[in-house]
Amino acid sequence: MKDKRKRFGFDLDNTLIDYADAVKEYCRIKSLNHCSDVVGLRDELEKNHTSDHEWQLAQAWLYTEGLKFAQIGVGALNLCNYLKSEGYQLYIVSHKTSHTPNLSGRIALHEVANNWISSSPIAKFFKEKQQIYFEPTRILKVKRIQDLSLNYFVDDLEVVFNTPDFPINTKNFLISTRVLQNSKFTCVRDFNSIREILANGF
Protein backbone atom coordinates (compact mmCIF):
# COMPACT_ATOMS: atom_id res chain seq x y z
CA MET A 1 0.00 0.00 0.00
CA LYS A 2 1.35 3.42 -0.93
CA ASP A 3 2.35 5.66 1.98
CA LYS A 4 -0.31 8.40 2.13
CA ARG A 5 1.39 10.53 4.81
CA LYS A 6 2.04 14.16 3.93
CA ARG A 7 5.69 15.13 3.48
CA PHE A 8 7.32 18.56 3.59
CA GLY A 9 10.94 19.15 2.57
CA PHE A 10 13.35 21.97 3.38
CA ASP A 11 16.57 23.08 1.80
CA LEU A 12 19.17 23.91 4.47
CA ASP A 13 21.64 26.66 3.53
CA ASN A 14 20.07 30.11 3.07
CA THR A 15 16.67 28.54 3.71
CA LEU A 16 16.36 26.90 7.12
CA ILE A 17 19.69 28.51 7.99
CA ASP A 18 19.73 32.31 7.75
CA TYR A 19 23.33 33.47 7.29
CA ALA A 20 22.64 37.23 7.49
CA ASP A 21 24.45 37.71 10.81
CA ALA A 22 27.31 35.47 9.66
CA VAL A 23 27.69 37.58 6.51
CA LYS A 24 27.85 40.76 8.59
CA GLU A 25 30.54 39.20 10.77
CA TYR A 26 32.55 38.09 7.74
CA CYS A 27 32.38 41.59 6.27
CA ARG A 28 33.60 42.99 9.59
CA ILE A 29 36.51 40.52 9.82
CA LYS A 30 37.59 41.13 6.22
CA SER A 31 36.90 44.89 6.26
CA LEU A 32 34.47 44.58 3.36
CA ASN A 33 31.58 46.85 2.48
CA HIS A 34 28.44 45.98 4.42
CA CYS A 35 26.45 43.10 2.89
CA SER A 36 23.08 41.98 4.22
CA ASP A 37 22.98 38.46 2.79
CA VAL A 38 24.96 35.75 1.01
CA VAL A 39 23.99 36.96 -2.46
CA GLY A 40 25.20 40.45 -1.62
CA LEU A 41 28.47 39.09 -0.27
CA ARG A 42 29.11 37.05 -3.40
CA ASP A 43 28.35 40.07 -5.60
CA GLU A 44 30.75 42.19 -3.55
CA LEU A 45 33.56 39.66 -3.80
CA GLU A 46 33.04 39.02 -7.52
CA LYS A 47 33.08 42.76 -8.15
CA ASN A 48 36.55 43.07 -6.67
CA HIS A 49 38.14 39.80 -7.83
CA THR A 50 38.48 38.21 -11.26
CA SER A 51 38.36 34.62 -9.92
CA ASP A 52 35.99 32.99 -7.46
CA HIS A 53 38.83 32.16 -5.06
CA GLU A 54 37.73 34.74 -2.47
CA TRP A 55 34.12 33.62 -2.74
CA GLN A 56 35.12 29.99 -2.14
CA LEU A 57 36.99 31.04 1.00
CA ALA A 58 34.02 33.09 2.18
CA GLN A 59 31.54 30.30 1.50
CA ALA A 60 33.70 27.77 3.36
CA TRP A 61 33.88 30.12 6.36
CA LEU A 62 30.12 30.75 6.36
CA TYR A 63 29.31 27.03 6.30
CA THR A 64 31.75 26.23 9.14
CA GLU A 65 32.92 29.01 11.49
CA GLY A 66 30.07 31.23 10.37
CA LEU A 67 27.46 28.82 11.69
CA LYS A 68 28.16 30.23 15.17
CA PHE A 69 26.49 33.44 14.01
CA ALA A 70 23.72 31.91 11.87
CA GLN A 71 20.06 31.81 12.90
CA ILE A 72 17.07 29.76 11.85
CA GLY A 73 15.01 31.31 9.09
CA VAL A 74 12.24 33.70 10.11
CA GLY A 75 9.13 31.74 11.00
CA ALA A 76 10.79 28.31 10.59
CA LEU A 77 9.94 27.17 14.13
CA ASN A 78 6.31 28.24 13.78
CA LEU A 79 6.01 26.48 10.41
CA CYS A 80 7.51 23.25 11.75
CA ASN A 81 5.09 23.29 14.69
CA TYR A 82 2.19 23.84 12.30
CA LEU A 83 3.28 21.07 9.94
CA LYS A 84 3.67 18.56 12.77
CA SER A 85 0.24 19.46 14.11
CA GLU A 86 -1.14 18.79 10.61
CA GLY A 87 0.51 15.37 10.46
CA TYR A 88 3.38 16.12 8.08
CA GLN A 89 6.66 14.24 8.03
CA LEU A 90 9.53 16.71 7.80
CA TYR A 91 12.75 16.33 5.81
CA ILE A 92 15.89 18.29 5.01
CA VAL A 93 17.43 17.76 1.57
CA SER A 94 20.59 19.78 0.99
CA HIS A 95 23.08 20.07 -1.86
CA LYS A 96 26.27 19.90 0.19
CA THR A 97 29.64 18.35 -0.57
CA SER A 98 31.33 16.30 2.14
CA HIS A 99 34.21 18.73 2.80
CA THR A 100 35.34 22.28 2.14
CA PRO A 101 37.97 22.67 -0.62
CA ASN A 102 41.62 21.97 0.14
CA LEU A 103 42.32 25.70 0.26
CA SER A 104 39.90 25.89 3.20
CA GLY A 105 41.30 22.94 5.12
CA ARG A 106 38.91 20.19 3.99
CA ILE A 107 36.57 20.63 6.96
CA ALA A 108 33.78 18.03 7.22
CA LEU A 109 30.69 19.99 6.15
CA HIS A 110 28.10 17.32 6.96
CA GLU A 111 29.32 17.06 10.52
CA VAL A 112 29.17 20.79 11.25
CA ALA A 113 25.76 21.08 9.57
CA ASN A 114 24.37 18.20 11.64
CA ASN A 115 25.80 19.81 14.78
CA TRP A 116 24.05 23.08 13.94
CA ILE A 117 20.73 21.31 13.35
CA SER A 118 20.98 19.30 16.60
CA SER A 119 21.69 22.44 18.65
CA SER A 120 19.06 24.64 16.98
CA PRO A 121 15.44 25.28 18.08
CA ILE A 122 14.20 23.00 15.27
CA ALA A 123 16.22 19.98 16.43
CA LYS A 124 13.14 18.23 17.85
CA PHE A 125 11.62 18.04 14.36
CA PHE A 126 14.62 16.28 12.80
CA LYS A 127 15.63 13.60 15.29
CA GLU A 128 15.94 10.70 12.85
CA LYS A 129 18.89 10.18 10.52
CA GLN A 130 16.56 9.33 7.64
CA GLN A 131 15.05 12.82 7.83
CA ILE A 132 18.28 14.59 6.80
CA TYR A 133 20.00 14.10 3.44
CA PHE A 134 23.13 15.76 2.07
CA GLU A 135 23.65 15.23 -1.65
CA PRO A 136 26.89 16.01 -3.53
CA THR A 137 25.17 17.40 -6.64
CA ARG A 138 21.98 19.29 -7.45
CA ILE A 139 20.84 16.43 -9.70
CA LEU A 140 21.08 13.96 -6.81
CA LYS A 141 19.31 16.44 -4.54
CA VAL A 142 16.37 16.57 -6.94
CA LYS A 143 16.38 12.77 -7.21
CA ARG A 144 16.18 12.54 -3.42
CA ILE A 145 13.21 14.93 -3.40
CA GLN A 146 11.58 12.69 -5.98
CA ASP A 147 12.37 9.47 -4.08
CA LEU A 148 10.91 10.90 -0.85
CA SER A 149 7.64 11.78 -2.67
CA LEU A 150 7.55 15.20 -1.02
CA ASN A 151 4.30 17.11 -1.28
CA TYR A 152 6.09 20.44 -0.82
CA PHE A 153 9.66 21.67 -0.99
CA VAL A 154 11.09 25.06 -0.04
CA ASP A 155 14.39 26.36 -1.43
CA ASP A 156 16.16 29.66 -2.05
CA LEU A 157 17.33 28.77 -5.57
CA GLU A 158 15.16 28.83 -8.68
CA VAL A 159 17.65 26.54 -10.43
CA VAL A 160 16.57 23.67 -8.15
CA PHE A 161 12.97 23.91 -9.28
CA ASN A 162 14.08 24.40 -12.89
CA THR A 163 16.04 21.14 -12.87
CA PRO A 164 14.43 18.94 -15.57
CA ASP A 165 13.65 16.00 -13.28
CA PHE A 166 12.17 18.05 -10.44
CA PRO A 167 8.95 16.15 -9.63
CA ILE A 168 5.86 17.80 -11.04
CA ASN A 169 3.76 16.65 -8.08
CA THR A 170 5.94 18.47 -5.56
CA LYS A 171 4.64 22.00 -4.99
CA ASN A 172 7.37 24.60 -4.57
CA PHE A 173 8.03 27.57 -2.32
CA LEU A 174 10.87 29.90 -3.32
CA ILE A 175 12.32 31.88 -0.39
CA SER A 176 13.52 35.28 -1.60
CA THR A 177 13.93 38.72 -0.05
CA ARG A 178 14.17 40.19 -3.55
CA VAL A 179 11.22 41.04 -5.75
CA LEU A 180 11.04 38.47 -8.53
CA GLN A 181 8.98 39.67 -11.46
CA ASN A 182 6.87 37.15 -13.37
CA SER A 183 8.24 34.17 -11.46
CA LYS A 184 6.49 30.89 -12.15
CA PHE A 185 7.20 29.77 -8.59
CA THR A 186 5.39 30.47 -5.32
CA CYS A 187 7.63 33.22 -3.94
CA VAL A 188 7.64 33.95 -0.22
CA ARG A 189 9.72 36.21 2.01
CA ASP A 190 9.81 33.86 4.99
CA PHE A 191 8.30 30.74 6.57
CA ASN A 192 5.42 32.64 8.14
CA SER A 193 4.15 33.30 4.62
CA ILE A 194 4.27 29.57 3.85
CA ARG A 195 2.20 28.78 6.92
CA GLU A 196 -0.43 31.30 5.85
CA ILE A 197 -0.57 29.87 2.33
CA LEU A 198 -0.91 26.30 3.58
CA ALA A 199 -3.59 27.29 6.07
CA ASN A 200 -5.57 28.71 3.16
CA GLY A 201 -5.54 25.35 1.38
CA PHE A 202 -2.62 25.56 -1.11
Over the stretch 134-178, which tens digit does the pLDDT of each residue have? Answer: 999 999 999 999 999 999 999 999 999 999 999 999 999 999 877
Looking at the DSSP assignment, which residues form a beta bridge with residue 187? Answer: 174
Report, as an integer, the average pLDDT of 109-133.
97
pLDDT digits (tens, 9 = 90+) for 68-112: 999 999 999 999 999 999 999 999 999 999 999 888 889 999 999
Q: How many contiguous H segments (helices) and E segments (strands) does the chain have?
A: 8, 8
CATH of domain 7-17+73-199: 3.40.50.1000
Q: Indicate the pTM of the whole model.
A: 0.94
Report, as an integer, the average pLDDT of 17-22.
98
Q: Which of 76, 145, 30 is nearest to 22 (CA)?
A: 30
Listed in order, the ranges of the chain carrying CATH 3.40.50.1000 are 7-17+73-199
